[in-house]
Amino acid sequence: MQIIIAQLLFGGDPTLEVAEMSPWMDLRLPPKEMKLQLVEAQTHRRFLKTHLPVDALCFSDKAKYIYIGRDARDVIWSLYNHHANANQMWYDAVYKTPGLVGPEIGRPTEDIKEYWNEWCQKVVFHFGHFGKMLKAGGKFVTYQCNVHTFF
């Protein structure tokens, strides 16, 4: 979705580096100070992505918000692909950088049924904020014209 937003905002420019234009503010890497400097130096129209619950955001009439909700089955296989394709340097950076919140997810098992069952039993509770977003999102869509919700 972030690439689609970038393409819409910048006329389909194929050279866009979305990770530089729209850093993932929630991720601890690179350090927050570096990301804030990058965002503050931007002169183009900004678009930021987050996984924060909607009630953690400060809403402004000057901004537009797009909420994308994903089916949990899509989320798990996206995570599986990220984790299965990540190298040891990525795992070290994510889990050995100070400030870790929550348990390490670790490398996926090769048995996808086992991965699915483990995710449903142990990991899915980390995504409980989806329900909050959906509940609050209806209110924002109803009362604020600058919030767009897609499922």
In a domain, 56, yes or no: no
Task: Kindly tell me the burial class for residue 35, based on how many C-beta atoms sit within 10 Å of its own C-beta (0-12, 13-18, 19 or more).
Answer: middle
Q: What is the pLDDT of residue 132?
A: 52
In a domain, 132, yes or no: yes
Residue 21: which of 1, 38, 4 has the closest Cα?
Answer: 38
Q: What is the pLDDT of residue 23?
A: 86
In a domain, 148, yes or no: yes
Q: What is the pLDDT of residue 31?
A: 82
In a domain, 83, yes or no: yes
pTM of the model: 0.61
Q: What is the pLDDT of residue 140?
A: 43
CA distance 132 to 54: 7
In a domain, 107, yes or no: yes
91 and 27 both lie in a single domain = no
**How would you classify the pairing of strands 65-68 and 147-150?**
parallel
In a domain, 90, yes or no: yes
pLDDT less than 70: residues of the chain: 123-151
In a domain, 57, yes or no: no
- AA identity, residue 18: V
Q: What is the pLDDT of residue 61?
A: 86
88 and 28 both lie in a single domain = no
Domain extent for 26 = 1-50
Q: What is the pLDDT of residue 85?
A: 93
26 and 96 both lie in a single domain = no
45 and 114 both lie in a single domain = no
41 and 67 both lie in a single domain = no
